[in-house]
Amino acid sequence: MNTKYIKQLGISAVMAMSVGFASSSHAEGMKVAIIAPSASNDLAFTQSIVDAVNVLKDEYKLEIAITDGTFVVDDAAAAIRAYAKQGYDVVIAHGSQYGGSLKEIAPDFPETAFTWGTSADTFGLPNVSSYEAKSNEGGYVMGVMAGAMTKSNVIGVVGPIEVGDAKLYVDGFVDGVEASNADAKVNVNYIGSFGDVALSAEAGKAHIANGADVMTGTAQMVVGAVGAARSENVAWFGTQANQTKLGKKIVVASQVYKWEVVLRTIFDDAKAGKLGGEMHEITLANGGLVMEFNDDYSLDADAKAAGEAAVAGIIAGDIKLGE
């Protein structure tokens, strides 16, 4: 392809604008490609990386290409390979299911910096770095608050399949509840799907029927469970992106992934010629994980204080979280 296209990144995203310009004109900038499994505006996993790259766009003079909605693993592999061939400086494979392919592709393109997540594995390759969210930290903090808030002592969790980032988050949340309220019972329901919104809504309703007055959940299909919480006025904790938009009256707080913290390091390294080898993580301590509260929700002062104490404790290392 001689004609290059750059992405017009606006609120509506995904719109295309074809601008032909010579490939030499971005000498000082960088070309970054993202391959991600769901929609760029999913208010969850994919949006977190797209937002982060956009934050850094001006600072690093980025030329950005996004292939989103790539749930087919082989299609993602083809996209990773194609971006590398087209000379992108950094290729971000944003999905833990893409790692196996990346491991095979990266050695063919020693000049390209690949990074992927969430994972803690660089396969010992010099041009692959990985990134991971310590989502159990935010999960723990929100669990602590949930434990302090609940009146019924029943808390509901809706998860997809017990794997990866979802499991890490849910396990952290359950630990947090246990730490703050030994009497509270956490019902965890892995519904067996990342995509079944209707089932996730019913899982939320099942929690509520069993007395849950605080809920959380993770993955794309949680919009269903949030809807159940909204119609029954049950408090909700979000993760991966700020979910306040999904329920202004019920979302207490969200754990937001600020990947720009690690991407900055990855981009700086790439500029300096260091293409990989590092495992990065976002944590509460390095500012990659941020608790964003919903100002419209009148959160009990004690619960908020408990949450803030937990954040401080995790940052200071006083609270140790199991792996």
Q: Is 15 in the site for another protein (CB under 8 A)?
A: yes
> Residue 191 interacts with another protein (CB under 8 A)?
yes
Tokens of 158: 């809706």
Stretch in the footprint of another protein (CB under 8 A) among 192-200, 258-266, 269-277, 284-292: 192-200
**Residue 266 CA: distances (Å) to CA of 36, 81, 109, 259, 323:** 18, 19, 17, 11, 25
Contact 139, 110 (CB under 8 A): no
- Size of residue set near another protein by CB under 8 A: 87
Q: Does 179 bind another protein (CB under 8 A)?
A: no
Dist. CA 183–CA 312, nearest whole Å: 24
* 87 lies in the binding site for another protein (CB under 8 A): no
Q: Pull the structure tokens for residue 186.
A: 């956490």
Give the residue with the Cβ less far from another protein, 61 or 85.
85
Judged by CB, which is closer to another protein: 203, or 306?
Answer: 203
Element containing residue 146 per DSSP (H, E): helix 135-149
- Cβ–Cβ under 8 Å, residues 35 and 76: yes
CB of 59 to another protein, least distance (A): 22
Q: Of 14 and 309, which has the nearer Cβ to another protein? A: 14
Distance set, CA 99 to CA 35, 36, 45, 113 (Å) = 12, 12, 16, 14
37 burial type by CB count under 10 A (0-12 exposed, 13-18 middle, 19+ buried): buried
Question: What is the C-alpha to C-alpha distance for residues 295 and 101, in angstroms, rounded to an integer?
Answer: 42
Distance between CA atoms of residues 165 and 153, nearest Å: 26
Among 194, 236, 257, 259, binds another protein (CB under 8 A): 194
Nearest approach in angstroms of CB 302 to another protein is: 28
Rounded to a whole number of angstroms, the minimum distance from the CB of residue 218 to another protein is: 12
Binding segment (CB under 8 A) for another protein, from list 23-31, 139-147, 153-161, 287-295: 153-161
Nearer to another protein, 221 or 303 (CB): 221
What is the helix (H) or strand (E) element at residue 100, kind and residue range?
Answer: helix 99-105
Of the candidate residues 55, 125, 197, 321, the single one contacting another protein (CB under 8 A): 197
User: Rule CB under 8 A: is residue 139 a binding residue for another protein?
Assistant: no
Q: Give the x-and-dash track for 24-63 against another protein (CB under 8 A).
A: -------------xxx-xxx--------------------
CA dist., res. 298 & res. 300, Å (int): 6
Give the shortest CB-129-to-another protein separation in angstroms. 15
Per CB under 8 A, does 81 bind another protein?
yes
Query: Binder to another protein among 139, 156, 217, 276 (CB under 8 A)?
Result: 156
* Cα–Cα dist 85/76, whole Å: 14
DSSP H helices in 56-157: 73-85, 99-105, 135-149
- Choose which of 55, 190, 292, 309 interacts with another protein (CB under 8 A): 190
Give the footprint of another protein on residues 216-275 (CB under 8 A).
220, 223-224, 226-227, 230-231, 245-247
Distance CA 271, CA 27 (A): 11
**Contact residue for another protein among 21, 29, 61, 162 (CB under 8 A):** 162
Take residue 260 and report the two structure tokens written for it. Answer: 């720009």
